[in-house]
Amino acid sequence: MEYSEEERAIIGLCMTADESRLSVLARAFSELFDPLSGEKICVSMIEKAAKRVYKDEVLPSEAERNAAIAGLESHKMFAVTLVSADYPAGLRAISDPPPVLYGMGNRALLRRRKFCIVGSRILPAWAEQTGRTIASDLSRRFTIVTGIAEGGDRAAIDGALAGGNLICVLPNGLDIAYPAAHTSLQREVAKRGLLLSEYAPGVKTKKYAFHARNRILAGLSEGVLILAAGARSGTLITAHCALEYGRELFALPHNVGAAQGEGCNEMIKAGAWLCTCAGDIFAAYGMETEAPPRIPLSEKEERLLAALKEAGELHAAVLAERTGIPVFEAQATLASLEMKGLAVRAGGNRFSAI
């Protein structure tokens, strides 16, 4: 990877700075970028800003910085800085943009239109399935931005990973997987999509890093969809960032009284877009939506689906009774509906339509 002089200066200084200095350095660098002045940044300005941070101490040597940059290559990572051409414009506009973004995977995704889908780790089965469908539909026109966690993030990843139009932002160095169970998933994302982080390789996860990461999720994207969030969910941080940055906010509606959806419903009340399918998001951006293809259904499937839609969520046995179909046949028909993506198993032999 070839970096310009300015890029090298920023990457080298950021990678060699210790943790406490890094945050001051980040602020100093972002202050250099006054969008109104339109002044071109040069190496001396960067060095001067860094010297103010280091005060009386000497800056890290040229050799040290070069070694750090060379370390990136060995990890097969690249770095994007505030002075790089493909640094996402949306992210640059926020109050505290990360001076360097480390990436692994398809760098071209940075230039695409981006949309963020997140949700809490525990969410209802229907919300997970809906999230997957929306992510899959949306990824045809947007690059999906999300974190890497169970539940909502996972739904977004599952939906978009196949097409490769996916960016996952991590709260730690890209060579680290947290939790360790995500190692293979992370590798897969790097292969097909893009992994991003503001942390240099080797930096471990800290509690506050999740909060800081959420600002990048919102900053990168034109809009944010919340699949599920409790009243005090961490997902709400992403939502608040999105509002602060003036991005569109979408939320999936939930049942009244469902704790996992309280946050979503509150957001809708406060003016977020109510979203049930990818079409809602396309419409908000003035894009045309294509009608979903009609799936041919048998007579029994129609009957079961109608009963399921009427009730929201229903036990297989109750469903069988209401439609007059024997339980075991209802089981079979539900499995068929599930495969056609029209119903989802909610646990405890209960199903819901989607």
Partner 1 sequence: MIAKVTCYALQGLEGVPVEVETDVCKGIPAYEMVGLPDTAVKESKERVRSALKNSGLLFPMNKITVNFAPADIKKEGAAFDLAVAVSLLKASEQLVGVDLTETVFLGELALGGELRPIAGLLPILISAKGHGYTRFVIPAGNAREAAFLGGAQIYPAHSLSEVLAHLRGEMPIPPLATVTFVPHLQGKNSADLKYVKGQPVARRALEIAVAGGHNVLLVGPPGTGKTMLARCLPTIMPDLTFEEALEITKIHSVAGVLGEEGIVSERPFRTPHHTATVVSMCGGGNRAVHPGEISLAHGGVLFLDELPEYHRSALEAMRQPLEDGKITVSRAGGTVTFPARFMLCASMNPCPCGNYGSADKICTCSPAEIRRYRRKISGPLLDRIDLQVEVDNVSYDDLSSLEMSEDSQSVKARVDGARRIQNERYAGSGIHTNAEMGERELTNWCRLSAEGDDILRAAFERMQLSARARSRIIKVARTIADLAGSETIEPVHVFEAVSYRIYDKLA
Residues that bind partner 1 (CB under 8 A): 121-122, 150-151, 179, 181, 259, 315-318, 320-321, 327-329, 331-336, 338-339, 341, 345-350
Rounded to a whole number of angstroms, the minimum distance from the CB of residue 121 to partner 1 is 6
Rounded to a whole number of angstroms, the minimum distance from the CB of residue 179 to partner 1 is 6
* 159 contacts 136 by C-beta, under 8 angstroms: yes
Rounded to a whole number of angstroms, the minimum distance from the CB of residue 132 to partner 1 is 11
Q: Which is nearer to partner 1, 32 or 316 (CB)?
A: 316
Rounded to a whole number of angstroms, the minimum distance from the CB of residue 273 to partner 1 is 28
Q: Which is nearer to partner 1, 92 or 121 (CB)?
A: 121
Pairing relation of β-strands 343-347 and 350-353? antiparallel
Rounded to a whole number of angstroms, the minimum distance from the CB of residue 290 to partner 1 is 22
* 153 contacts 133 by C-beta, under 8 angstroms: no
* 174 contacts 251 by C-beta, under 8 angstroms: no
Q: Which is nearer to partner 1, 75 or 350 (CB)?
A: 350
Cite the DSSP H helix spans in the chain: 5-16, 19-32, 43-54, 62-74, 89-92, 125-138, 152-161, 183-192, 207-220, 235-244, 262-269, 278-284, 299-311, 316-323, 327-339
Query: What is the C-alpha to C-alpha distance for residues 41 and 280, in angstroms, rounded to an integer?
Result: 41
Q: Which is nearer to partner 1, 27 or 192 (CB)?
A: 192
Q: Which is nearer to partner 1, 158 or 280 (CB)?
A: 158
Q: Going by C-beta distance under 8 Å and a sequence separation of 6 or more, which residues neighbour residue 341? A: 129, 133, 295, 354
DSSP at 102: E
**Burial status of residue 197 (CB atoms within 10 A of its CB: 0-12, 13-18, 19 or more):** buried
Q: Which is nearer to partner 1, 17 or 149 (CB)?
A: 149
Pairing relation of β-strands 78-81 and 114-118? unpaired
Q: Which is nearer to partner 1, 24 or 327 (CB)?
A: 327
3-state SS assignment for residue 137: helix
Query: What is the C-alpha to C-alpha distance for residues 313 and 308, in angstroms, rounded to an integer?
Result: 7
Rounded to a whole number of angstroms, the minimum distance from the CB of residue 139 to partner 1 is 18
Rounded to a whole number of angstroms, the minimum distance from the CB of residue 309 to partner 1 is 18
Rounded to a whole number of angstroms, the minimum distance from the CB of residue 320 to partner 1 is 7
Q: Which is nearer to partner 1, 285 or 328 (CB)?
A: 328
Q: Which is nearer to partner 1, 205 or 336 (CB)?
A: 336
Rounded to a whole number of angstroms, the minimum distance from the CB of residue 254 to partner 1 is 14
Pick from 115, 118, 143: which is nearest to 128 by CA?
Answer: 118
* 187 contacts 88 by C-beta, under 8 angstroms: no
Cα distance between the two ends of the chain? 46
